[in-house]
Structure 1
Amino acid sequence: MGEVFAVFTIRRLATLIRKFNNISLLLAASAFVIICAILMRTLEPERFTTFFNAIWYVMTTVTTVGYGDLFPETAAGKVVAMFMFVFGIGLVGVVIGKVVDGLGSFTRRKEEGRLIYKGRKHIIMIGWSKKTEIAVNEVLESDTFTDIIVIAQTDRLPLNHERLHYIQGDPTDRETLLKANTLNAKAAIIFADELIHDASLTDGKSLLIASTIESLAPDVHTTVEIMQEKHIQNFNHIHVNDFILAQETISRLAVRSALSKGITTLYNRLIRRGEEEGGELFEIKPRKEWKTYRDAFNALLAEGATLIADQHRLGVNHLMDTTIPEETRLYVICEESVYVKLKHSEER
């Protein structure tokens, strides 16, 4: 009868405790453990020679571990122990359950894209597709520091990485972009929505997303994938840094391949990160001692890199004696080890 009453009491107590908020529960459990430890230390100082021993006994009791290395001997100590049996087990058990539920809830909310991202200098990718997955893997392999935020309207992402974060929501909504901390992002890539089969509607949605980003964070480098080149003029009223022509690029590359066998291999080597020798395409900043493109070309060649372009201009070989403009971006082909040395020289 006594055991039934104790079980009933613990269940009733647990039900009442669950109605408290988490902070109140934590404070109540901490106070309960400390008070019980003080009582045990006061009532049986010879058994519990230190306050730590008393804490140890209370914790092993209320968590039902019960090692048996310490136990009360006096009647008063046993009364306190019974008090812990009836009230402490229920209280601490609920607290532990709350902690476990909280950790599980955090993981679940992160996977479902319902957490706010608070980092900085990250890359935002909008829309989930096979192209997005390839882009995510490319960033993870090429950059060991930059976080990636994917904004989409799927239940959860099939990829899992400590630097990959998901925000579920409508990318045309400012609140969704704020959750991705767009204000402090380094770049945003807008992929064409593959669920929309009309090219005009697809580019129209991309335009709306780009406009929202522009109004919220005008300094973010924005890249937009569009379906038809003629739609680029519709983006004139906003600032888009780069456009990717989805269908035209594939078609033109196929024609180039037919006319010049093997040229697609060269294109792929330029845009894809690989382990083959020959180098990859990298961006560098011009040095102060480089006055003309010839200065830059010769200096880079001596260090193992080949200058091929200035921003969008590929004809650098025709500009050798031209002064390099300020704030320009140079592109070189070199191996990654050479690029690391070049970056180190920029920072000095």
Structure 2
Amino acid sequence: MRFYLMSAYLRLPLFSRILLTGGSFVLLFGFLIHLIEPKTYRTIFDGIWWAIVTTSTIGYGDFVPETTAGKLIAILLILLGTGFISAYFAALSAAAVSKENALMNGKLAYTKEGHTIIIGWNERVRKLLSQLTEFRPFMSFVIIDETLDKLPISNKNVHFIKGNPTYEHILHKANIAKAKTVLITADQHKNEMEADMAAILTLLTMKGLNPHIYAIIEILTAHQVNNAKRAGADEVIQTNSLSSFMMMNSMLSPGISQIVEHLLDQLKVEKLQPVDAPNDMIGKTFKQGHEMLWEQQILLLGIIRGEESYLNPSPHFVIEKNDQLFILKH
């Protein structure tokens, strides 16, 4: 039994051991001083109060040992107990500093649930987090990147893990099993083909550890899009395709990029989104659905049906069950 208790004590963290030892000193000496000087320390609580005040070096003076035995107990408490209490506060301060350094340097594991993991760091991610933390202040994010030396932004809801996202122990530190969403960005330090292959490998690893996580992946080359979908991507963002489309339209219609950029800036977050078609709209035409939503100051832009998207379809296009409405809120 003694061996079991000693083994359990030694397995405790240093902070817990110091706290337990210091508390034991306070209780022991509080009880002893009550036994030795029951007239001065009428209750055990009086003795414990004196022991706490003595070990913390506050020394109110409301209780003072009067006998030689009591004074010897006080000397022993000061020599032993005060040292443990000082060690307790020193350990507490060291633990706080150590935890803060581990957080800043990406070495501290993440323990909360329902968070979003972002793979990679670049200016797009910085802007993304700036917008999301403004419009969704209660969302939490974990950045995984092996090129960063410390947390790049200061926000209580943003956590940093330094390491390679294809390593399982790194993903476990990010609590991949309890994550809700992952965004895998293209590695700006690799060429396009290598960046896509690294992103797909990361996706495969994450889906293997958490098959239910909603995965959004950035793909640069068109011929890797299907591979990303086969790997389990729920959404694929083709950055180069979007950029080339914008460049083409800017060349054909000069000034269009500024208009689109201004429009996107005005939309902000959550104004443009897909929603499930309500029951009262199923079987109605696109025109009827548009009129129903317009009364709520919501603009119906299109219909999403499975893998197909119908932007501004025919007015007679019939809304079916399981369709999603692509809407623009006021």
Query: Which TM bucket (shorter chain)?
Result: 0.7 to 0.9
| Structure 2: unaligned runs, 5 residues or longer | 1-9
Q: Aligned ranges for residues 295-334 of structure 1 at < 5 Å?
A: 295-311=288-304, 313-318=309-314, 320-326=316-322, 328-334=323-329
In the TM superposition, residue 129 of structure 1 has moved relative to its aligned partner by 1.4
**AA partner of residue 122 (structure 1):** H
Aligned length: 313
Instruction: Specify which of 49, 55, 77 is matched with residue 62 of structure 1.
Output: 55
Q: TM-score under structure 1 normalisation?
A: 0.80
In the TM superposition, residue 151 of structure 1 has moved relative to its aligned partner by 0.8
Who is 1:10 aligned against?
Answer: none
- Matched-pair identity in %: 24
Partner SS state of residue 289, structure 1: helix
Instruction: Specify which of 240, 245, 254 is matched with residue 252 of structure 1.
Output: 245
Who is 1:172 aligned against?
Answer: 166
Distance 2:257 2:320 in 1: 31
The change in CA–CA distance for 1:112 and 1:199 in structure 2 (over 3 A counts) is: same
The answer (yes or no) to whether the contact 1:286–1:296 under 8 Å persists in 2 is: no
Partner SS state of residue 225, structure 1: strand
Q: Aligned ranges for residues 192-207 of structure 1 at < 5 Å?
A: 192-196=186-190, 198-207=191-200
The change in CA–CA distance for 1:309 and 1:118 in structure 2 (over 3 A counts) is: farther
The change in CA–CA distance for 1:325 and 1:236 in structure 2 (over 3 A counts) is: same
Who is 1:234 aligned against?
Answer: 227
Who is 1:218 aligned against?
Answer: 211
Distance 2:76 2:226 in 1: 77
Q: Deviations over 1:197-239 (max 9, x none)?
A: x211111111211222232323322222122223324335322
**AA partner of residue 325 (structure 1):** K
The change in CA–CA distance for 1:151 and 1:215 in structure 2 (over 3 A counts) is: same
Q: Aligned ranges for residues 21-60 of structure 1 at < 5 Å?
A: 21-60=14-53
Q: Aligned ranges for residues 83-122 of structure 1 at < 5 Å?
A: 83-122=76-115
Distance 1:307 1:63 in 2: 69
Who is 1:11 aligned against?
Answer: none
**AA partner of residue 65 (structure 2):** P
The answer (yes or no) to whether the contact 1:222–1:240 under 8 Å persists in 2 is: yes
Distance 1:317 1:295 in 2: 12
In the TM superposition, residue 320 of structure 1 has moved relative to its aligned partner by 4.0
**AA partner of residue 301 (structure 1):** W
Q: TM-score under structure 2 normalisation?
A: 0.84
Q: Aligned ranges for residues 121-140 of structure 1 at < 5 Å?
A: 121-140=114-133
Give the stretch that moved more between structures: 37-46 or 202-211. Answer: 37-46
The change in CA–CA distance for 1:180 and 1:191 in structure 2 (over 3 A counts) is: same
In the TM superposition, residue 142 of structure 1 has moved relative to its aligned partner by 2.2
| RMSD over aligned Cα atoms | 2.7
